[in-house]
Structure 1
């Protein structure tokens, strides 16, 4: 047997270090988070996506009593993009998530105890949502995932967050 390995990485910094278009992406995600309907988990998620034309689309989580019918924020944002533009390549995803009673400020400086110190602390979408994002990356593993947490922003890629992918390409679909 051979062992195959992949190094996973993420950059951590302050929102001011991001390009303007990525700062706007997180601002839309933060606004979407405010509209979340999460009476069961009380965990509010907002997501914004940018397509290759530079347009922004956003969504929030919408929970239902039968959890299987809950709409995840990533799915909501991407489905909105497809509804408005048809199949479209996602070039970046912005994520802002926290318990409902936590106010999220994108500009705060992180406290030393809240700084991200390990890759396991990096906030990424759930597996279900990573698959949905991958479907609209059009086989580009370098699509950025940008999350805001505790005054920091974390930037990684769909390829790092979902290293062993299955998607349209494996089914013979080529966008």
Structure 2
């Protein structure tokens, strides 16, 4: 699957978002090492702290299905404004993904690409809890 195809899957996930409060819909598509793709969309709650982020939902689905190795994640918003995973999502991704995970962000007619390590250097790991 090409990067553009993965972004198309993320864009489709945007359509399933529930964002009545912020009106900022986000979709994500994460690809596992074996090529399986899982999607997520943001699901808001009137108590914002109970809202679910698209990236967290996508990786949670993958983890629940037993996947532990990931190649890349594509993220899009209804505005296609180059949204990147927020800090909380970056930390959640870092629990299961290598710093080299490719993060592809949708910017209207182009894309921006980062690695997870660029977006979240010096991440908190399980080793910090020992």
* TM-score above 0.5, yes or no: yes
Kindly indicate whether structure 1 or structure 2 has the higher relative contact order, using CA contacts under 8 Å at least 6 residues apart.
1
Q: Which runs of 5+ in 1 are unaligned?
A: 1-19, 105-120
- What do you get for the CA RMSD once the two structures are aligned? 1.7
2:92 alignment partner in structure 1: 132
SS at match of 2:68: coil
Structure with max Cα Rg: 1
Distance across 2 between alignment mates of 1:30 and 1:122? 12
1:155 alignment partner in structure 2: 113
2:103 alignment partner in structure 1: 145
- Taking structure 2 as the reference length, the TM-score comes to 0.91
* Count of matched residue positions in the alignment of Structure 1 and Structure 2: 130
Aligned with residue 56 of structure 2, among 51, 75, 89: 75
CA displacement, residues 65-118 of structure 1 (integer Å, 9 cap, x when unaligned): 11111000001101111122x25122101000135xxxx5xxxxxxxxxxxxxx
Do the aligned partners of 1:57 and 1:81 also contact (CA within 8 Å) in 2?
Answer: yes
2:75 alignment partner in structure 1: 95
What does 1:48-59 correspond to in 2, within 5 Å? 48-59=29-40
TM superposition shift of 1:169: 4.1
What does 1:7-46 correspond to in 2, within 5 Å? 20-46=1-27
Distance across 1 between alignment mates of 2:127 and 2:82? 28
Q: Which runs of 5+ in 2 are unaligned?
A: none
Do the aligned partners of 2:14 and 2:76 also contact (CA within 8 Å) in 1?
Answer: yes
SS at match of 1:163: coil
- Taking structure 1 as the reference length, the TM-score comes to 0.69
Distance across 1 between alignment mates of 2:40 and 2:3? 16
Do the aligned partners of 2:82 and 2:106 also contact (CA within 8 Å) in 1?
Answer: no
Do the aligned partners of 1:87 and 1:136 also contact (CA within 8 Å) in 2?
Answer: no
TM superposition shift of 1:46: 0.2
Distance across 2 between alignment mates of 1:27 and 1:122? 14
